[in-house]
Chain A
Amino acid sequence: MPQIEFINVSKEYEPGKKVLDDVTFKVEPGEFMFVVGPSGAGKSTIIKLLTKEEMPEGGDILFNGESVLNISKDSVPGLRRKIGVVFQDFRLLESKTVFDNVAVALEVADSNLEEIRSIVPNVLNMVGLTDKMFKYPKQLSGGEKQKVAIARALAHEPDVILADEPTGMIDPDSVDDVLEVLEKINSLGTTILMATHDQEIVNAMKKRVLRIERGQVVSDKKGGKYRA
């Protein structure tokens, strides 16, 4: 059973202007897939639809075989705990330490202090930030901030990590570090769906590439390449 399935999905934010037009694709468990395309192609919309931040005008979206569209409002938090999201702008809380930024994900799920104290150092260790646990975001580099965001996304041990342009705001030297962490997570069985328009990264990683242009899937190749 595919982990993620988009079936003829259409989405428009304004009447008549389709951001996604009849998009269909599947992602198997444990896959690493790039969603590529120019800005405004609809990459971020795919992530928002999957986390039920947005609703499509047509089609269906399945996650682990269950329609996301039919999930009740009360079940949306549960869905979001199975899907970790990483953003280009990190979305960290500047007033909280690295530890606390990761802990937020557990606190909202009513985890107790013991669980938080055990899980947070583990995920920070996985992304290589154990020594920065009590630093504040402003004391970190762009790459480190993104790793904190990845650690936060990992806190619930999600089935999938959705990364929306995760290397877009970090210095070139840190890009490899972040990709390395994502590959490591993927190797442990977590599905990764990464939206990007960085052709160097896509071509270097040699993963499945789903190309979207003007809201439509124009190609879907394993070990594919991308030329912007």
Chain B
Amino acid sequence: MSNIKKEKLLSVSNILIMTVTFVLLGLLINVVVFSQTALRYLEDQAQVTVFFKDDFNEAKINELKDSLSKDKRVSELVYVSKEDALRIFREINKDEPVLLESVSASILPASLEVRAGKISNLKPLAEELKIIDGVEEVRYFEDVVSRFKFWSTVVYIIGTLLVLVFLVVSYSVVIAALRATINSKGVEFEIMKIVGASDDYVKVPLIHHGVFFGLFSSFIASVLMIILGVVITLTNVFPRGLGIGFLPGVFVAPWVFSIILTFILLLSGFLLGYLGSSAAIKKYLNY
């Protein structure tokens, strides 16, 4: 195989490995943002539902509601009367007339839906509400949220490790690619130095070479991430948009997020190419 063919094959395989790295990095960032968005949705939905005994009348419930509304941990309170409960029940079971006939408002409990600003406040609120006289039952879905949090963390850790491994591999790939170039152009570099080339004259094209690998690979990964963003926008999986972790309450459309991600990937590609080629030059050209 000629040197040119070998170099081409090497370049293609290098670009492939680096593209896999950036696709993984893009997917990891997407997974983090998707799961944060889902977590926020779950947290918004997370509530304590307090069911009252029949003898705990509406006046007492309103009294409790007033006292809870002063509690800083509580973000929202919704009172569901027996009549409201029946309406909801009918709505849910509208296709089952036999069941509807057997149920009246009197047998359904009134309830109070308590939402907390922080999910961690749900448990203490539930414990406090449980011991109030007149409370029949307190329900909350702490497990769902905590399980989701646990698995999200597992995904972050595995994903981050995977990305780190591939970043190290890609860094080595840039160095190996430039090592091959330096070896194949060894005489040319030597001649350049002898005839008075500055360090930069020899170094800059090699840096460009490394940066090209990084940018080209991250560009391919970026295109795939934009396609993913457009698909998610069109399928309306996240109707409110994607939540940006460090900006509470900020939601952006998936396609907008994929453009932000493109910048992150291209910057990573540039840095990886630049740092890898700088290391190769230092190692193999003694600069």
Q: Which residues of A contact B (CB under 8 A)?
A: 51, 73-74, 77-81, 85, 91, 93, 104-105, 108-109, 152-153, 155-156
Q: Is B198 an interface residue (CB 8 A)?
A: yes
Q: Are A91 and B196 in touch, CB under 8 angstroms?
A: no
Shortest distance from the beta carbon of B282 to any chain A beta carbon, whole Å: 14
Q: Is B201 an interface residue (CB 8 A)?
A: yes
Q: Which residue of A lies closest to B192 (CB)?
A: A108
Q: Which residue of B lies closest to A94 (CB)?
A: B187
Query: Interface majority SS on A: helix, strand, loop or mixed?
Result: helix
Which residues of the other chain, B, contact A153 by a CB distance below 8 angstroms? 195
Partner of B187, one of A77, A81, A93, A108: A93
Please count the residue pairs between chain A and chain B whose beta carbons lie under 8 angstroms apart in the complex.
Answer: 43
Query: Interface majority SS on B: helix, strand, loop or mixed?
Result: helix
Which residues of chain B in 148-204 are interfacial with respect to chain A, using CB atoms and an 8 Å cutoff?
187-188, 190-199, 201
Q: Are B201 and A73 in touch, CB under 8 angstroms?
A: no
Q: Are A80 and B187 in touch, CB under 8 angstroms?
A: no
Q: Which residue of A lies closest to B202 (CB)?
A: A108
Q: Are A81 and B196 in touch, CB under 8 angstroms?
A: yes
**Once bound together, how far apart are the Cα atoms of A153 and B201, in whole Å?**
18
The 7 tightest CB contacts between A and B, nearest first, are: A108-B197, A81-B196, A80-B196, A105-B195, A77-B196, A77-B198, A108-B201
A-B contacts, 10 of them at CB < 8 A, read A51-B194, A77-B197, A77-B201, A81-B195, A91-B194, A93-B187, A93-B191, A104-B192, A105-B196, A155-B195
Shortest distance from the beta carbon of A97 to any chain B beta carbon, whole Å: 15
Partner of B195, one of A73, A74, A78, A104: A104
Interface residues on B, range: 10 to 19
Quick one: given A80-B193, A104-B192, A108-B192, are A91 and B198 in contact (CB under 8 Å)?
Answer: no
Q: Which residues of B contact A (CB under 8 A)?
A: 187-188, 190-199, 201
Known: A74-B198, A93-B191, A152-B195. 15 other contacts (CB 8 A): A77-B196, A77-B197, A77-B201, A78-B196, A80-B194, A80-B196, A91-B187, A91-B191, A93-B187, A93-B188, A104-B192, A105-B195, A108-B192, A108-B196, A156-B195
Q: Which residue of A lies closest to B188 (CB)?
A: A93
**Once bound together, how far apart are the Cα atoms of A16 and B192, in whole Å?**
33
Q: Are A85 and B194 in touch, CB under 8 angstroms?
A: yes
Which residues of the other chain, A, contact B192 by a CB distance below 8 angstroms? 104, 108
Q: Which residue of B lies closest to A102 (CB)?
A: B195
Shortest distance from the beta carbon of B190 to any chain A beta carbon, whole Å: 7
**Once bound together, how far apart are the Cα atoms of A215 and B193, in whole Å?**
26
Which residues of the other chain, B, contact A104 by a CB distance below 8 angstroms? 191-192, 195
Which residues of the other chain, B, contact A105 by a CB distance below 8 angstroms? 195-196
**Once bound together, how far apart are the Cα atoms of A108 and B193, in whole Å?**
9
**Once bound together, how far apart are the Cα atoms of A58 and B187, in whole Å?**
30
Partner of A156, one of B187, B190, B193, B196: B196
**Once bound together, how far apart are the Cα atoms of A54 and B194, in whole Å?**
12
Shortest distance from the beta carbon of A163 to any chain B beta carbon, whole Å: 13
Which residues of the other chain, A, contact B191 by a CB distance below 8 angstroms? 91, 93, 104
Most chain A C-beta atoms within 10 Å of own C-beta, residue among B190, B195, B198: B195
Q: Are A109 and B196 in touch, CB under 8 angstroms?
A: yes
Shortest distance from the beta carbon of A93 to any chain B beta carbon, whole Å: 6
Q: Are A80 and B195 in touch, CB under 8 angstroms?
A: yes
**Once bound together, how far apart are the Cα atoms of A199 and B196, in whole Å?**
32
Q: Which residue of B lies closest to A87 (CB)?
A: B194
Which residues of the other chain, A, contact B194 by a CB distance below 8 angstroms? 51, 80, 85, 91
Most chain B C-beta atoms within 10 Å of own C-beta, residue among A74, A77, A85: A77
Which residues of the other chain, A, contact B193 by a CB distance below 8 angstroms? 80
Shortest distance from the beta carbon of A138 to any chain B beta carbon, whole Å: 14
**Once bound together, how far apart are the Cα atoms of A73 and B193, in whole Å?**
12
**Once bound together, how far apart are the Cα atoms of A193 and B143, in whole Å?**
86
Which residues of the other chain, B, contact A51 by a CB distance below 8 angstroms? 194
Which residues of the other chain, A, contact B197 by a CB distance below 8 angstroms? 77, 108-109
Which residues of the other chain, A, contact B195 by a CB distance below 8 angstroms? 80-81, 104-105, 108, 152-153, 155-156
**Once bound together, how far apart are the Cα atoms of A60 and B196, in whole Å?**
22
Which residues of the other chain, B, contact A109 by a CB distance below 8 angstroms? 196-197
